[in-house]
Amino acid sequence: MTLRALISVSDKSKVDVFADNLLDLGWQIFSTGGTKEFLSTPSREIGAVEDLTKFPEILDGRVKTLHPFIYGGILARRGNPDDTADLDAHAIQTIDLVVVNLYPFIQSITDQELKLNEALEQIDIGGVSLLRAAAKNFPSVLVVVDPKDYENVIKNLRQGIVPLSERRLLARKAFQHVSLYDAAISKYLGIDMGSAGLIDMQNDLSDQMVIPVTKKNNLRYGENPHQKAALYEPLPIGSKPQGITNAKQLNGLELSFNNVLDSDAAWNVVSDFSEQPTLAIIKHGNPCGLSSRDRLIDAFEAALDGDSISAFGGIIASNRPIDRETAERISESFYEIVIAPGFDQDALGILKKKKNLRLLEMGPPTPPPTSLDIRSIRGAFLMQTPDSLNDGDWKTVTDQQPTEKELEDLKFAWKAIRHVKSNAIIVVKDRSIKGMGAGQPNRLVSVELAINKAGPAGTKGAVLASDAFFPFADGLELALDAGIKSIVQPGGSVRDEEVIKAANDKGASMILTGVRHFRH
């Protein structure tokens, strides 16, 4: 019995070699227009789909394989008497191998801004149907979507059998290929191509959510060495936020799972500060050092001074290119990663001497992403719109007004507090974090940690930011007794008046924003 293959591919890499191997094994090959033209040579006989359907392609190629002679040949259950009788009654030939990959819809819409009608023409219909039909009948029909599988399929065919387990994996891969393709179309149709530009409409928390992602690379391991891990990124449809996956690695070891998380946190922090050179040092997701200065080297020195012990082995991020002077200081200690828009040649030469130091070149910082924040819990996912840089409605509620210098530090602190894990308290002085309390179940303990870390010199005349309201006056009183002169916090506690009175009693100023910035 002659075995028949239907080949219709957009990605034609290695398909000619694959076809030659099939013909050598005695298979008969049928193809659609473009693939048939590519494969046909005087020594390689390729049949046309019309030879099977007895019907020409119509609608400018929109309809060519959608025919009972095709789908009957694919979907017929081998060994089923009723299906066999139907095939015989209608003179339908079985098809034993389907090789299809789909129109390059994703590439088409990312390479250029297509008009809607042009994009719709890149949506594959027949190919999707062929893959679904063949994958559904995988015990009898081989289905191949990935050129990387050609070699193994031919190897199995030469051995006389393709194991059911292998057939099943190929079918699974086909359904994944189709699912990703449909998800990409769904995401594209959720993009508003209006005068305001590309706007991702997937942040509407709709009833059904499809998020197309592909693996970028495997990671050495997860949070711990016994855990497997990989990095996935969304398909580039619509506006793509700048992130660690876009970085160009110039030096050092591969990134680990924890490296990616901390690098993302570090870059997010400095991207919020555009006015001045800003440098952050991240440890376990929190900025143990953060400072803005007129010169990058001064920002580094001030960030390091915030917690020089915790900074050891941390991750550095800068919103300005790394210069020679800053690189020399960085090279004096051990850090895992340095992230920056760029590195001048002198700086690169200095830092590359540390062969394990990862250097990530990001390009200029971009606005924060508008895509959904997605987190996994056991058996489900949580989704939320991002915590945007929302200043809130600032209102001074104390008798004392903040000074101009205090107001400058309060604004710095309010930007920074978004990046510290709750309950979050930070002490800021001269646009630098002097002390931090993070991740504590008790806000009072966070205040204690922050002022103890800052020390008397750091708290005297400094400001304090809290990511949420003070439930009691005790935390604020502790800060005021340590020398804090101004506070920014959301407010909203039933004891706000008590907290305001505590500030007034010490002659301190306090601003309520009306916006909370929890980060769990």
Rg for the chain, CA atoms, rounded: 31
Q: How many CA atoms lie within 13 A of 449 on its CB side?
A: 18
Per the CB < 8 A criterion, the answer to whether 487 and 504 are in contact is: no
- Long-range contacts of range 189-194, CB-CB < 8 Å, 24 or more positions apart? 191/237, 191/238, 193/113, 193/116
Cα angle at 69 between 171 and 103, to 5 degrees? 50
Q: How far is residue 260's CA from residue 264's CA, in Å, rounded to a whole number?
A: 6
Residue 336 identity (one-letter amino acid): E
Q: How far is residue 389's CA from residue 268's CA, in Å, rounded to a whole number?
A: 11
Scored b (16 or more CB within 10 A) or e, 482-511 reads bbbbbbbbbbebeebeebbebbeebebbbb
Q: Judge residue 47's burial from the number of C-beta atoms within 10 Å of its C-beta, 0-12 exposed, 13-18 middle, 19 or more buried.
A: middle
122 φ, ψ to 5°?
-90, 5
Which of 12, 284, 460, 501 is the catalytic position? 284
Cross-strand pairs, 41: 44
Question: Helix 474-481 crosses helix 443-459 at what angle (to 10 degrees)?
Answer: 10
Q: Judge residue 123's burial from the number of C-beta atoms within 10 Å of its C-beta, 0-12 exposed, 13-18 middle, 19 or more buried.
A: middle
Which of 136, 352, 501, 506 is the catalytic position? 136
Q: How far is residue 293's CA from residue 512's CA, in Å, rounded to a whole number?
A: 26
Instruction: Quickly list H helices, 58-204.
Output: 68-75, 81-90, 105-111, 116-120, 126-136, 150-158, 164-189
136 is catalytic: yes
419 is catalytic: no
Q: How far is residue 397's CA from residue 432's CA, in Å, rounded to a whole number?
A: 25
The token pair that represents 493 in the structure block: 């506690």
Per the CB < 8 A criterion, the answer to whether 376 and 365 are in contact is: no
The token pair that represents 13 in the structure block: 């890499």
Question: Helix 81-90 crosses helix 68-75 at what angle (to 10 degrees)?
Answer: 150
DSSP string for residues in 377-434: ETTEEEEE----------EE-SSSPPPHHHHHHHHHHHHHHTTSPSS-EEEESSSBEE
- Point out the residues that are catalytic: 136, 284
